[in-house]
Structure 1
Amino acid sequence: MANQTRGGLEGIVAARTAISDVDGERGELIYQGLDIVDLANNSTFEETTYLVWNGRLPGREELDALSRRLAENRTPPDEVVRMLRSFPKSGAPMEVLRTAVSALGIYDPEGGDDSREVNVRRAIRLVAQTPTLVAYIRRLREGREPVEPRPDLPLAANFLYMLTGEEPTEESAHEFDVALILHIDHELNASAFASRVITSTRADMYSAATGAIGALSGPLHGGANQRVMETLLEIGEPGRAEEYVRDLLKRKERVMGFGHRVYKVMDPRAKVLKNMSRALGERHGNTKWYEISEIVEEVMREEKGLYPNVDFYSASFYYELGIPVDLFPCVFAMSRMTGWTAHVLEQQADNRLIRPRAEYVGERDVPYVPIEER
């Protein structure tokens, strides 16, 4: 067994999926066969959600029906909202979101029914209500009343509206919609794998989503974009960026947002986000965060041969959009909920308990010593 083990399961194929695929050598990502750049340029979050769940793009009536159902299901149960109000404001947003999503399962109106039809409805409720929970969490932490969702707005625009109380510009809403598309799924990443492991035990969808949020919250996964922005804020000015990064590297400290277990070239999602970060900064008359990011990218490529991943330019983009830094991982979870629920549905359709082996490296034949003789 020893010759089969690899740290972090690197290179080990642990599941079969039609949801997404990463070509690390060519820097490509596809959802159900469609290139991520084509989807970013042409699709919407709602349409891409349909694609990921159903394996094909929807017709007009199908897309309208899904968009309507997502809009109709945005309001979480009153009991869960009361729970949010009771939490201490010091709670980290991802901790609060994880707990709230778990609580949604308690108030599931179709609890106990594990059919695909019902699980699709659960997926719709989870994708629809997660942005509402995130917006509520932000406003309650600031001592402000939540803004109720608007069913006439698409999911991306509605989230920005709930966050600020003001309808976003068409450009900002579109760009945020693209960012959500880019984060929907990424093959068998840590949180998607966690969701499949949990589902393989025949646990419910809420358990899988809760476990996935827990996995995403770590700084080596969904928490990375928050760390990136904290670094940019610490740098503060473009003129300090090069020296700051070189000092980090001399101290052998990690620069977040660079390198990837699969990609050997630049993450295609990072390319799209880089362009949007620049465009948004130019519209706002503030390109400082983009400029710092670009310098950091140049130094990292020169010194380490590493390219930015999806977390790097999403940080400056979200910040310029007005999203609080500690909310970045929650925004990641909003989008990735579509991917997680897709993995749950796919695992349920052809389930086998995921139970790998471990290589034992401890001692053997250790005699038991009675407590009186220890």
Structure 2
Amino acid sequence: MRAQEPGRPDAEERRLTTREAAELLGVKPETVYAYVSRGQLGSRRTPGGRGSTFDAEEVRALARRNRRDGGGPAASAAGQELTVRTRLTLIESDRYYYRGVDAAELAAHHTYEEVVEWFWTGQLRPGTAFSAPEPSVTAARRAVDALPEHAGPTDRLRVAAIAAAVADPLRFDLSEGAVLGTARILIPTLVAALPPVLRDGDDRAPIAHRLWTRLSGREADEPTLRALDAALCLLVDHDLAASTLAVRVAASARAHAYAAVSAGLGVIEGPLHGAAGGLAHRMLMEVLELGSAGPVVAEELRAGRRIPGLGHRLYPGEDPRARALFALLEDIPRAAPALAAARDIQATAARHTPLHANVDLALAVLTASSGMASTAAETIFAVARTAGWIAHALEEYGERPLRMRPSGLYSGPRPPRPLPE
């Protein structure tokens, strides 16, 4: 064993040099940096910037994984899924945590703005509120108003983010304080840029209240507003989802916060991510119209489609976000028909494959029972997740630039080949 350095506590072992880490892993020094670029190993610059050092236990753990996987260090570096160290969200045992605190519990006791401040800073600020300056809102609204009527909610949000960026001369300041200042402006700007359905809301109201006026033409009641606010809290982050990874890639290239958020918005338009709630909404409406889930589920299966709103790869059991949101919806009388339809879908599908409801089905119940369009779930997801994207961008700004650079495994024809005729 390596001797402890004099004067250092036993718990703090001397960090390894690149050469020492390479020897322990049985690889070349350049392969060590390949591990770092893929997020499989952390590094710290030495004083003066001449090389990097590595945590000895982390290097030993990686060496054990390489031996266990049986593919050797080169195969591990090229073939394993990308992993990224983060201090933000942990998912385990059918629960998930924001900075170590149960996310569902946070949503039950705090507003979206308070949960977001906790997620960004690790400090709880009761009564916190977000507001946007007039130039930012004006620029975003003008850009969104110029879009054709058939533009989707993510189109509007992405255009609003770009317009707000152009209106912000300080957008290239990537310091933590500046990025958080941007975030506190960007989220209310995105909401304000969306066209109101019935009437414009109070720009000083909580984000959930302002968002309601963009999604529903009905008068809001307190239980439903509470459910919408909780949905925003529950969707702030969910580890390295596809959109979050896109945000971290952008931040790794040192794109400013608006651009990083725009990258995330581009990804959630896929039907397997942010748009999944809309698919569940449309299915739920069909069940309500027909009075039974049987024919709707049968048609989904006949078409070769997976049933939206059921199952989640990270939760063998129940999605904790769905559980929390369903509990709030139980207290809303007008949500009862949609809740019954959701249970019918789950029970019908269980005869084929037992699956629990996920947050997309819970969102569908919220949006369908609130008189919202099928695209409302996508809007709720995007606004909520913007806060999480900002936090991940901030983490990535603290890492080595351009580390999100995997190597391609070329499978085309081997060179040299003659010039094409």
State the TM-score, normalized to the length of structure 1: 0.85
Give yes or no for the alignment of 1:255 onto 2:307.
yes
Q: What's 1:80 paired with?
A: 140
Give yes or no for the alignment of 1:18 onto 2:87.
yes
Distance 1:113 1:4, change over 3 A: closer
Distance 1:173 1:202, change over 3 A: same
Residue deviations 1:37-67, cap 9 Å, x none? Answer: 2112212111101110012333xxxx44x42
CA–CA distance in structure 1, aligned partners of residues 383 and 311 of structure 2: 24
Q: What's 2:294 paired with?
A: 242
Residue deviations 1:285-331, cap 9 Å, x none? Answer: x6222211111112223311222221111111122123222232112
Q: What's 1:45 paired with?
A: 112
Give yes or no for the alignment of 1:190 onto 2:242.
yes
- Provide the secondary structure at the position in 2 that maps to 1:304: coil
CA contact 1:21–1:187 (8 Å) conserved in 2: yes
Task: Give the 5 Å matches for 1:276-295.
Answer: 276-280=328-332, 282=333, 284=334, 287-295=336-344
Give yes or no for the alignment of 1:217 onto 2:286.
no
Shift of 1:359: 2.5
CA–CA distance in structure 2, aligned partners of residues 77 and 225 of structure 1: 27
CA–CA distance in structure 2, aligned partners of residues 75 and 325 of structure 1: 31
Which one of the candidate residues 351, 356, 369 is aligned to 1:302?
Answer: 351
Give yes or no for the alignment of 1:108 onto 2:168.
yes
Q: What's 2:409 paired with?
A: 359
CA–CA distance in structure 2, aligned partners of residues 29 and 366 of structure 1: 52
Aligned AA (2:280): V
CA–CA distance in structure 1, aligned partners of residues 264 and 342 of structure 2: 29
Q: What's 1:94 paired with?
A: 154
CA contact 1:257–1:308 (8 Å) conserved in 2: yes
- Provide the secondary structure at the position in 1 that maps to 2:375: helix
Shift of 1:347: 1.1
Distance 1:350 1:258, change over 3 A: same
- Provide the secondary structure at the position in 2 that maps to 1:256: coil
Larger Rg over CA atoms: 2
Distance 1:87 1:334, change over 3 A: same
Aligned AA (1:222): G
Q: What's 1:268 paired with?
A: 320
CA–CA distance in structure 2, aligned partners of residues 74 and 238 of structure 1: 47
Aligned AA (2:112): F
CA–CA distance in structure 2, aligned partners of residues 322 and 85 of structure 1: 23
Which one of the candidate residues 339, 354, 377 is aligned to 1:328?
Answer: 377
CA–CA distance in structure 2, aligned partners of residues 296 and 207 of structure 1: 39
Q: Aligned pair count?
A: 347
Which one of the candidate residues 203, 206, 222 is aligned to 1:150?
Answer: 203
Q: Which deviates more, 268-277 or 73-82?
A: 73-82
CA–CA distance in structure 1, aligned partners of residues 348 and 416 of structure 2: 53
CA contact 1:270–1:310 (8 Å) conserved in 2: yes
CA contact 2:131–2:184 (8 Å) conserved in 1: no
- Provide the secondary structure at the position in 1 that maps to 2:391: helix
Q: What's 1:369 paired with?
A: 419
Residue deviations 1:181-200, cap 9 Å, x none? Answer: 01110011011111001000
Give yes or no for the alignment of 1:348 onto 2:397.
yes
CA contact 2:280–2:361 (8 Å) conserved in 1: yes
Residue deviations 1:108-167, cap 9 Å, x none? Answer: 142332322211111111122222223x2x54xxxx7x615331x222123224555876
Unaligned runs of 5+ in 1: none
CA–CA distance in structure 2, aligned partners of residues 42 and 74 of structure 1: 31
Distance 1:83 1:248, change over 3 A: closer
Aligned AA (2:114): E
Residue identity over aligned pairs, in percent, reads 28
Q: What's 2:17 paired with?
A: none
Shift of 1:74: 8.0
Shift of 1:339: 0.5
Distance 1:244 1:112, change over 3 A: closer
CA–CA distance in structure 2, aligned partners of residues 261 and 276 of structure 1: 24
Which one of the candidate residues 54, 58, 70 is aligned to 2:121?
Answer: 54
CA contact 1:237–1:288 (8 Å) conserved in 2: no
- Provide the secondary structure at the position in 2 that maps to 1:337: helix
Q: What's 1:202 paired with?
A: 254
Please, what is the CA RMSD of the aligned residues? 2.4
Distance 1:290 1:238, change over 3 A: farther
Unaligned runs of 5+ in 2: 1-73
Distance 1:256 1:162, change over 3 A: closer
Task: Give the 5 Å matches for 1:172-187.
Answer: 172-187=224-239
CA contact 1:27–1:265 (8 Å) conserved in 2: yes
CA–CA distance in structure 1, aligned partners of residues 174 and 417 of structure 2: 48
Q: What's 1:228 paired with?
A: 280
Shift of 1:29: 0.7
CA–CA distance in structure 2, aligned partners of residues 74 and 158 of structure 1: 16
Q: Which deviates more, 259-268 or 70-79?
A: 70-79
Q: What's 1:160 paired with?
A: 212
CA–CA distance in structure 1, aligned partners of residues 354 and 217 of structure 2: 43
State the TM-score, normalized to the length of structure 2: 0.76
Distance 1:356 1:234, change over 3 A: same
CA contact 1:76–1:132 (8 Å) conserved in 2: no
